[in-house]
Amino acid sequence: MNFFSAVSVEQAEASAHLPKGDMWSVHKFGGTCMGTSQRIQNVADIILRDPSERKLVVVSAMSKVTDMMYNLVNKAQSRDDSYITALDEVFEKHMAAAKDLLGGEDLARFLSQLHADVSNLKAMLRAICIAGHATESFSDFVVGHGEIWSAQLLSFAIKKSGTPCSWMDTREVLVVNPTGSNQVDPDYLESEKQLEKWFARQPAETIIATGFIASTPENIPTTLKRDGSDFSAAIIGSLVKAGQVTIWTDVDGVFSADPRKVSEAVILSTLSYQEAWEMSYFGANVLHPRTIIPVMKYNIPIVIRNMFNISAPGTMICQQPANESGDLEACVKAFATIDKLSLVNVEGTGMAGVPGTASAIFGAVKDVGANVIMISQASSEHSVCFAVPEKEVAAVSAALHVRFREALSAGRLSKVEVIHNCSILAAVGLKMASTPGVSATLFDALAKANINVRAIAQGCSEYNITVVLKQEDCVRALRAAHSRFFLSKTTLAVGIIGPGLIGRTLLNQLKDQAAVLKENMNIDLRVMGITGSRTMVLSDTGIDLAHWKEQLQTGAEPANLDKFVDHLSENQLFPNRVLVDCTADTSVASHYYDWLKKGIHVITPNKKANSGPADKYLKLRTLQRASYTHYFYEATVGAGLPIISTLRGLLETGDKILRIEGIFSGTLSYIFNNFEGTRTFSDVVSEAKEAGYTEPDPRDDLSGTDVARKVIILARESGLKLELSDIPSCSTADEYMQKLPSFDQDWARECKDAEAAGEVLRYVGVVDVVNKEGQVELRRYKKDHPFAQLSGSDNIIAFTTSRYKEQPLIVRGPGAGAEVTAGGVFSDILRLASYLGAPS
């Protein structure tokens, strides 16, 4: 019966990776899987569920047993008598497991064999103890018992259910030649012969084989050394031409990146043999490369599965990975990193065209026994750089200085330089070779996370692209690259400074919209910190925006802007970070330069930076233009109205700005539109403040300073180098405003005069690009003029340009207020997300 027809859909899906037909299905269970009697029983159940007709199961010793066995040998060698009690512990462990698992005759048979083995071992260890020395084969013989006992236990556990099952001592079958470097080479021909003999003696359809152990051609017990039982399974898989080799472990499969470093890492459903190779080189928890070779020859798929989560389908390693979509994202399978490296750079004009330089360099490296992790040389041949482990670099550097002493002193080589504290980030994927844009995307992701790449290597096989970076940047780089290829969503860590009117409105808008953005646009916005002038709250994963106010009151710590910024910039979860300055503070604005320099994007409605001293402003803009770090400030002029973006659009497409004229103050607009003499002036000003139109200090509005700042911002945007002090005295507005309430008659008369002329009074700002000046003044406009038609807090801005000469381009609408301003800031955040790669 096919077991899977009787089980859940989930388990049926799990069978998708099981081989079909009468081919052998090979399984391997490591020590952890065989850790307890219960686990051995679970292993038996998994085997019994495999519908394949022929099954060969390779097992390791129960967990910790191999170490216990080596310990026995070591004790005996050093003539420490406690090897006897240590052997008793090994015996007890297996006896207890057997008693749990088995009963009756099976138990008796296992125990009597265990007894016999243990007394043999005791005799052998005594001999070792007397000699004070164990040969390698002695020790291999002793240690191999762990596998023998676990294979026997499992085979009895399977037999218990009525399924015939034999166990195989692989020392009778696997023949290997030691290679000297703690490795062995299988002798496939000889092993195949031995295997045929074994089958002739013991035809069986379910076989439990010992992992790890083998024999030399002289029939001396040995082990597969560091490649262990995975290698046994792969060799046996290739000998029986298995339909599949399943490696059972305690993880769901191969991850797209180290899940301890990248919480969004995903399990890969397929990997090619070469990709698995690359990943294992980079220390991913995959198979040892040697394990892949035997099965690769016969195109036998290897499947990595989690025995503690049977419903997970695992990762299939095979020749032609299925379900490849061919898109950019599918080309990069995984990312891996290696830390603690140094780059060595050998440089000089005397290298170009001189054969033998590379050989001399790497000869010297080899002489000190250092391992070269990657090499890069551009075709100018003026420098060769390579990465070696940090602990080997001193010797390498010394050897190169000795080897090239003459060349260095003659100036043919200019330097042998060491760059410490480096890491490698590698993107792995077979299809990178045939897909344009992969490296561009990788480097783009790194650039956008403000990560500097020190060296690059990519062979033409293109299984991997390797970049060397500063070790401190490595995890962030890994996350930036991983999120670009795997999440395809733009993740942004946001820090909000100044949760006043605009700040808290923005936080509310973010709260209401975050889920929609995530769902529809793959934009993941996380507010990692909020700071006011007295307290701040920080979070590593994102503040709950429904409760930030309470947190800022109760769970908060004293505000500290440096700490706040460090918290955001040291955040490892999201590579893209943005500070949103919702204050009107000059000192906060003075930090933008440093933040941009750190790769933190800046968004603000605060006008102080852009209307402050011109040299500082220019320095800021120059830095920002030269980097991938963004600075957006749409809400500084006309709040949420598209003023800056309209101006930019005109300029960037080659239009010439002649004049920008407008009503830039929502507060003044409101006052002009509502002060009709029936209410007191201070009442109307209070209304404007109440409505959220005024600056934190309303005198900025009433004095005309706020308008002057906006004129400066637009003038600079248009290329004029103006200072705030270049705007002819703005005090007119202040004086006018002050007079306004007390000289009601004057005010009424002025209005009347204007009215009689068919005109109205308006407080306007002008950027006169032609004459390179800015003005702020009270003007009279005809009633049919667009500037005369405003209501509420409306702003209106007219751009006269070469293209819009007869009729200016006009933007009009509410130019102050919490919702529209916060909306303008929010849309800058989304503009940033789209610059960073969010879908449009």
Ligand X SMILES: N[C@@H](CCO)C(=O)O
CB of 581 or CB of 701, closer to ligand X:
701
Binding site for Na ion (CB under 5 A): 634, 638, 641, 643
The entry of Na ion, ligand X, ligand NAD, none near residue 701 (CB within 5 to 8 angstroms by kind) is ligand X
- From the CB of residue 807, how many other CB atoms can be counted at a distance below 10 Å? 8
The entry of Na ion, ligand NAD, ligand X, none near residue 812 (CB within 5 to 8 angstroms by kind) is none
Q: Residues 6 or more apart from 348 whose CB is under 8 A from it?
A: 382, 383, 407, 408, 411, 412, 413, 414, 415
CA dihedral 291, 294, 299, 300 (to 10 degrees): -60
Binding site for ligand NAD (CB under 6 A): 497-503, 531-533, 582-585, 587-588, 605-607, 635, 639, 666, 692-693, 695-696, 816-817, 821
Query: Is residue 154 classed exposed, middle or buried when 0-12, 13-18 and 19+ CB atoms within 10 A define those classes?
Result: buried
* Residue 526: strand pairing partners: 493
CB of 238 or CB of 505, closer to Na ion:
505
The entry of Na ion, ligand X, ligand NAD, none near residue 667 (CB within 5 to 8 angstroms by kind) is ligand X
Tell me how far, at minimum, the Cβ of 697 lies from Na ion, in Å: 21
With beta carbons less than 8 A apart as the criterion, state whether 308 and 293 touch: no
Residue whose C-alpha is closest to residue 658's, from 798, 562, 786: 798
Which of the residues 55, 607, 608, 710 is marked catalytic? Answer: 710
209/147 Cα distance (integer angstroms): 8
Secondary structure (DSSP) of 701-748: HHTSHHHHHHHHHHHHHTT----GGGS--THHHHHHHHHHHH-HHHHH
> What are 276's two structure tokens?
């698995």
Tell me how far, at minimum, the Cβ of 704 lies from ligand NAD, in Å: 14
Query: Is residue 442 classed exposed, middle or buried when 0-12, 13-18 and 19+ CB atoms within 10 A define those classes?
Result: buried
- What does the DSSP 8-state code read for residue 122? H
With beta carbons less than 8 A apart as the criterion, state whether 63 and 31 touch: yes
Tell me how far, at minimum, the Cβ of 752 lies from ligand X, in Å: 27
Site for ligand X in 688-717 (CB under 6 A): 693-695, 701, 706
Tell me how far, at minimum, the Cβ of 563 lies from ligand NAD, in Å: 12
CB of 468 or CB of 589, closer to ligand X:
589
The entry of ligand X, Na ion, ligand NAD, none near residue 455 (CB within 5 to 8 angstroms by kind) is none
Tell me how far, at minimum, the Cβ of 822 lies from Na ion, in Å: 12
CA dihedral 98, 102, 106, 111 (to 10 degrees): 20
564/571 Cα distance (integer angstroms): 11
φ/ψ bin of 119: left (φ > 0), alpha (ψ from -120 to 50), beta (otherwise): alpha
Segment holding 537, helix H or strand E: strand 535-538
SS (H, E, C) 288-301: CHHHHHHHHHCCCC
Can you tell me whether residue 605 is helix, strand or coil? coil
CB of 150 or CB of 610, closer to ligand NAD:
610
Q: Residues 6 or more apart from 356 whose CB is under 8 A from it?
A: none
* Residue 45: strand pairing partners: none
CB of 140 or CB of 634, closer to ligand NAD:
634
The answer to whether 639 contacts ligand X (rule: CB under 6 A) is yes
Nearest residue to ligand NAD, by Cβ distance, number only: 500
Of 146, 253, 815, 824, the one binding ligand X by CB under 6 A: 815
Tell me how far, at minimum, the Cβ of 650 lies from ligand NAD, in Å: 22
SS (H, E, C) 445-502: HHHHCCCCEEEEEECCCCCEEEEEEEHHHHHHHHHHHHHHHHHCCEEEEEEEECCCHH
CB of 482 or CB of 608, closer to ligand NAD:
608
Tell me how far, at minimum, the Cβ of 698 lies from ligand X, in Å: 8
Residue owning tokens 């992790």? 373
CB of 39 or CB of 710, closer to ligand NAD:
710
The entry of Na ion, ligand X, ligand NAD, none near residue 643 (CB within 5 to 8 angstroms by kind) is Na ion
Give catalytic status of residue 448 as yes or no.
Answer: no
The entry of ligand X, Na ion, ligand NAD, none near residue 286 (CB within 5 to 8 angstroms by kind) is none
813/794 Cα distance (integer angstroms): 5
CB of 816 or CB of 832, closer to ligand X:
816
The entry of ligand X, Na ion, ligand NAD, none near residue 665 (CB within 5 to 8 angstroms by kind) is ligand X
Tell me how far, at minimum, the Cβ of 751 lies from Na ion, in Å: 30
CB of 302 or CB of 798, closer to ligand X:
798
Segment holding 279, helix H or strand E: helix 273-281
The answer to whether 667 contacts ligand X (rule: CB under 6 A) is yes
The 222-261 site mask, x for binding ligand X (CB under 6 A), equals ----------------------------------------
Tell me how far, at minimum, the Cβ of 580 lies from ligand X, in Å: 16
CB of 310 or CB of 641, closer to ligand X:
641
Nearest residue to Na ion, by Cβ distance, number only: 638
- The β-bridge relationship of strands 315-318 and 374-377 is unpaired
The entry of ligand NAD, Na ion, ligand X, none near residue 429 (CB within 5 to 8 angstroms by kind) is none
The entry of ligand X, ligand NAD, Na ion, none near residue 641 (CB within 5 to 8 angstroms by kind) is Na ion
The entry of Na ion, ligand X, ligand NAD, none near residue 306 (CB within 5 to 8 angstroms by kind) is none
With beta carbons less than 8 A apart as the criterion, state whether 103 and 121 touch: no
Tell me how far, at minimum, the Cβ of 434 lies from Na ion, in Å: 46
User: CA Rg, the chain, in Å?
Assistant: 37
The answer to whether 801 contacts ligand X (rule: CB under 6 A) is no
Q: Which residues bind ligand X (CB under 6 A)?
A: 639, 665-667, 693-695, 701, 706, 815-816
Residues serving a catalytic function are: 710
